[in-house]
Structure 1
């Protein structure tokens, strides 16, 4: 392949940016220039050194010239691929997203995609994405853009709102976890070694983090009857309260047993295709109390832990062993290779609806499967889920559209309408307005 110019917006990050560079180091097909841009300019410059150490540690020296740029336009000029992975504001901004709703009795398990916290995070993030899109249109209009930032649907929608012809997609790994879960069940059901998750073929539909599997096969075998049998078995759902408490004590915030995903299949006919922490936030019944969530083994990620993690990541000094690349389940580099013509890839994508999801309006950002190849993404028509799932997804998508429109036009009253329409909102009108006004102030972007 020819030399490529790749820009990471959020290039000073200590998680996604580092993982992308490690994946890049293991892919001998790509080479060229890697540009790191971050509002924290010192962090971006620091990651230049880390990147060079990564390439050296993985015998990929010389394949990429790594530079940091202080100006976004200069960083984007001539770029073929843009990766966006940013934190909109400092972690303290999330106090308004996570703690204030809890004071009013609204629980959130993640608070970065939906619910009052997701809406306020969007309020910080979307103005950044409107500007990113304008700068991409000016400096590299033909570049492909991969967004990793949450709220995934709204951040990706903001790119298309500001630059309708942008070539962008949102990339999320939540579906991969369900494919892995199904692969584990296949090993039990058929007495075989656990298949690679990529050998599990699923039909998916919905919006990011509220995505559903309507079909699943392995080596041509329809797996849905066995999955439905598993979901219908009362023994699948033991009281996991003690396990949840153990996870809290051990700070295993991201562990789950996919019991919420299975309960959607049992009750509504489609398997949830995201982790239980995310799925629980889009409907009102799982987060009715902490104890209700614990019964399903799911726990909420606390604000205090997020603060400590942000500090730990910022101060992290990478040891040599931290830089050795191992096979990753992320697909950013595979997507890049496909878009640049090195391979083709079938995977889940977040893109504007061209009709691949029939029960949502065209133009909305939806999650479905798609083929990625040289300078091309082709969405695949998704199977319609049962009507109850359609109705739930449609409500979420409508709230997202109101939020997008409100933030694009700086209309706080429309944003309040979206806030009231969210499935987690259960407060009287006066209390909802009180919480909204407090969150507007507490969640403002700051660094």
Structure 2
């Protein structure tokens, strides 16, 4: 144990990396990292070097004995790693722009992790994550895989279903963002708040809220009926809930629920942005350009506050808290994506769910919640069916399975439109979807 830890971060050139570094610095006393390997691909080389140098400056400023390595060689980075974190985007932001723009051109919501865009992000990402797991099996079989890559629920589902690597945890900053939002609403420190999270990634509900161990759910729900409190996450803006609806639902929603319960309003907003050429991908591209200009500054040795505008706020708190709790067997409660094992009665035991778990050195132990409230059960099951079929399509490269996944998604209005969008997106992303094309070319 006292030799120190080796951590490999795949997608190390991400604009989020300074968040992670800040978290490792803050928790160094409980997480003695010896080596941090930042890995990327050739297309991300320039960003990797910029972020890697900032990471080195941050660690030097903190006076910590962590060695930072920058590499394009994934296998060297993985060798004997204790933890592997993944935060990559196959096809970069140009692929995200297509995920948003192609569905919108057909009057269907275009979004990174929901609807057709979420399907295609999964189709591109799952083969890569399975390849990483294959390398881990050879080079660091005992390492924990902490996945932050979206769609995190679908990716976790694929690893659990199509590999025998069970040391995988999916992570999202939305639940911790909700906790922070509740703390802000109540004007208390985050450490005093706990939420019972139940559901799926980007489809999670807070079934109860505690302040110092006492339920304050009724008070929080009343605060959430006010429009200015409707969204806790910066990259998903809504128009506020109908107060009667949120009271009747009697649960905390996550920002992505806006795409389902306010489908028309969100679609109209997105279509307006699309016509102006400013879908979220374009906004993020500009934010990233500005961030990397800041990161280049040789005098910068901290995480710049502008990073929170990127939508990844609290990522380091969530990621490093999780790694530390596994390493130190803390047995605290955190919301993560893990195997269901009976935590939610109406979801198959072998599926990935996002629930509050006790975090141990053996991994997350889900807290059993019984069943979902009847009002949300059907939607959660439908999204889980979508994730399962989409993961199968990603692994098999079967066109019909991909079409089925597209059409059973609740944001796709018909089989005809779904097929048109599928064909157009397959063509647009052909470079990153060899599993759908190689058989036809043999």
Scaled by the length of structure 1, the TM-score of the pair is 0.83
Counterpart of 1:97 (choices 88, 93, 99) is 99
Matching residue within 272, 280, 283 for 1:305: 283
Partner of 1:323: helix, strand, or coil? coil
Q: Structure 2: which 5+ residue stretches go unaligned?
A: 273-277, 306-312, 434-442
User: In the alignment, which residue of structure 2 is the partner of 1:432?
Assistant: 418
Deviation at 1:26, TM superposition (A): 2.4
**2:118 maps to which residue?**
118
Corresponding position of 2:348: 361
Matching of residues 140-219 of structure 1 within 5 Å? 140-186=140-186, 194-219=187-212
Preserved CA contact (<8 Å) 1:153 1:365: yes
Q: Distance in 2 between matches of 1:52 and 1:291?
A: 41
- Tell me how far 1:280 sits from its aligned partner: 1.9
* Partners of 1:85 and 1:114 in 2: CA distance: 18
Asked whether the 8 Å contact 2:336–2:354 carries over to 1, the reply is yes
- Corresponding residue for 2:25? 25
* Residue aligning to 1:44: 48
Residue number in structure 2 paired with 1:6? 7
Does 2:382 align with 1:401? no
Distance, in Å, in 1 between the alignment partners of 2:359 and 2:411 is 35
1:442 aligns with 2:428: yes
Question: How far, CA to CA, are the matches of 2:238 and 2:286 in structure 1?
Answer: 26
Classify the secondary structure of the residue corresponding to 1:132.
Answer: helix
Q: Count matched residues.
A: 413
Find the partner of 2:361 among 367, 370, 374.
374
Taking the aligned partners of 1:224 and 1:293, their CA distance within structure 2 comes to 35
For 2:322 and 2:304, the matched residues in 1 are separated by 18
Give the counterpart of 1:58 among 57, 62, 69: 62
Q: Does 1:279 align with 2:279?
A: no
Q: Cα gap change, 1:313/1:88 in structure 2, threshold over 3 Å: closer, same or farther?
A: farther
Task: Say if 2:403 and 2:422, in contact at 8 Å, map to a contact too.
Answer: yes
CA contact (8 A) 1:41 1:70 kept: yes
Contact 1:58 1:325 in 2 (8 A): no
Deviations 1:148-177 (A, max 9, x none): 111111122222234223301011121122
Per the alignment, do residues 169 and 124 of structure 1 end up closer, same or farther by CA in structure 2, a change over 3 Å counting? Answer: same
Contact 1:260–1:279 under 8 Å retained in 2: no
Q: Distance in 2 between matches of 1:50 and 1:333?
A: 19
TM-score scaled to structure 2, two decimals?
A: 0.84
Change in CA separation of 1:162 and 1:292 when aligned onto 2, cut-off 3 Å: closer
2:268 matched residue in structure 1: 290
The structural deviation recorded for 1:417 is 0.7
Q: Cα RMSD between the aligned structures?
A: 3.1
Aligned to 1:266: 247
Q: Which residue of 1 aligns with 2:71?
A: 69
Higher mean C-alpha displacement, 124-133 vs 314-323: 314-323
Query: Structure 1 310/222 Cα, relative in aligned 2: closer, same or farther at 3 Å?
Result: closer
**1:122-170 deviation digits (Å, cap 9, x = unpaired):** 1111111111111111111110111111111112222223422330101
1:389 aligns with 2:376: yes
Shift in alpha-carbon separation, 1:301–1:371, aligned structure 2, 3 A: farther
| Native 8 Å contact 1:133 1:166 kept in 2 | no
Flag the 1:303–1:220 CA change in 2: closer, same or farther, 3 A: closer
